[in-house]
Amino acid sequence: MRLGKPRRSLRWLLPLLALIVLSTALWTWWAEQNPREEREMRVLVQDRLAQWFPEEMNPSSGGYGFVPLLPERAREAPRVLLVHGLDEPGGIWDDLVPALDQAGYDVWEFRYPNDQALDRSADLLAEYWPTIQDEAPVVLIGHSMGGLVIRDFVTRWRHPVGSTPGVTGAPIQGVILVGTPNQGSDWARLRVWLELRDNFVTALDRRFSLFAGLRDGTGAAKIDLRPGSDYLQELNARAWPESIPLHIIGGYLLEAPQSFTAALDSIADELGSDALTVPLEAWWSDLGEGLGDGVVAVASLPFDGAPPPILVQASHRGLVARLFPNDPQPAAIDPILDLLAEFND
């Protein structure tokens, strides 16, 4: 009799697992077919939670807003505001901040519920913006999705082309977008794994709270990040203000090895023609650009009105953060410092 009990429990467990898998599959299929309705549902859930639990869901309860990353400097020091990307568990700025410190910048970070709809994150940045002292201009640097939040804030709130600014405060000296998917990224569909990473990495640093993840949003950001989303179409339809200097830095993982290049040169010499080498080089180039930094393809970096992107060999996080302590300095840091120097000339 005792040996039969586990078997009877398995009879209940297997149908339950099958039901969970089926429900997940049905939800995924419906969400893929109805992204607009899914976004509305996720936003509605977040609104309802904010109504029912105003104190727990208040952004101030989650440590959001402007956070100084260095000791306070003199007011005349040039200011840099960093805006992180989707489900960032922390550490993305660990290599950039010391470089900015050495260069004499006053460095802050804008932290926000980055799983929520992107327009709401831009709205929150606009809400906090007047709290910045006006004396010195600010350079905004956004990694990944953070660059979209910056673009939305600049073009809809601080410097909308052809209309009155919706918010006043410190002037914007320039903008640098690093690995920003201006045309979207299919990796947004894997947001659930980023969320797991976020909660796993930060779980040891914070007391567990049911509302910690909910305050961070209910997943509408992943829908906004998809190529061709309503959000991206509206954002990309807005003109970028000519008065605000803008630069884009992107990464690519694949670079033709020297042996590959040498082999192509040898083939061209033997044939006395580039008829074969040209399409092979184009194939390799298309492969590398399509892969991009592993998350954002090279073709996703530009948008109308923006200058051509500066490309460096790096992974998505590797643009600004080391994977291992002994790795060389991330490839985007020197270009960032050079652009900041140009802004301050």
pLDDT per residue, tens digit, the chain (345 aa), is: 455 555 555 666 666 666 666 665 555 555 555 566 666 666 666 666 666 666 655 565 557 899 999 887 666 678 999 999 987 767 899 999 999 999 999 999 999 987 788 999 999 999 999 988 766 789 999 999 999 999 999 999 999 999 999 998 899 999 999 999 999 988 765 544 444 444 444 444 444 444 454 545 456 788 899 999 999 999 999 999 999 999 999 999 865 445 445 554 555 555 555 554 555 454 445 545 567 888 899 999 999 999 999 999 999 999 999 988 899 999 999 999 999 999 987
Dump the DSSP string for 291-328.
Answer: HTTSSS-GGGS--TTPPPPEEEE--TGGGTS-SSTTSP
In DSSP notation, 177-246 reads: EES--TT--GGGGGHHHHHHHHHHHHGGGS---HHHHHHT-SSHHHHHTSTT-HHHHHHHHSPPPTTS-E
Domains and CATH numbers, the chain: 36-250+308-343 (3.40.50.1820), 258-288 (no CATH)
Answer whether 224's CB lies under 8 Å from 39's CB. yes
Report CA dihedral (47, 53, 56, 61) to the nearest 10 degrees: 50
Question: What φ, ψ does residue 68 adopt, rounded to 5°?
Answer: -70, 135
User: Which H/E stretch holds residue 334?
Assistant: helix 333-343
pLDDT of 58 = 58
- Please name every residue paired with 109 in a beta bridge, in sequence order, or none if there are none: 67, 82
**Tokens 């033997």 identify what position?**
270
Q: How many CB atoms lie within 10 A of CB 251?
A: 28
Q: Which long-range contacts (CB under 8 A, 24 or more apart) does 255-258 make?
A: 255/288, 255/313, 256/281, 256/284, 256/288
> H or E stretch including 66?
strand 65-68
Angle between helices 277-291 and 258-271 (to 10 degrees): 160
Residue 136 is predicted with a pLDDT of 78
CA distance 159 to 200: 38
| Distance, CA of 242 to CA of 305 (rounded, Å) | 9
The conformational region for residue 167 under phi > 0 = left, psi -120 to 50 = alpha, else beta, is: beta
Instruction: Supply the pLDDT for residue 235.
Output: 98
Which of 307, 335, 300 shows the shortest CA–CA distance to 319? 335
pTM equals 0.77
User: How big is the chain, counted in residues?
Assistant: 345
Measured between alpha carbons, how far is 138 from 126 in angstroms, rounded to an integer? 14
The conformation of residue 156, written as its DSSP 8-state character, comes to I
**Which residues in 25-57 are b (16+ Cβ under 10 Å) and which e?**
eeeeeebeeebeebbeebbeebeebeeeeeebb
Contact between 311 and 304 under an 8 Å Cβ cutoff? The reply is no
The per-residue pLDDT for 193 is 42
What is the C-alpha separation between 312 and 294, in angstroms, rounded? 13
The dihedral formed by the CA atoms of 333, 338, 344 and 345, expressed in degrees to the nearest 10 = 170
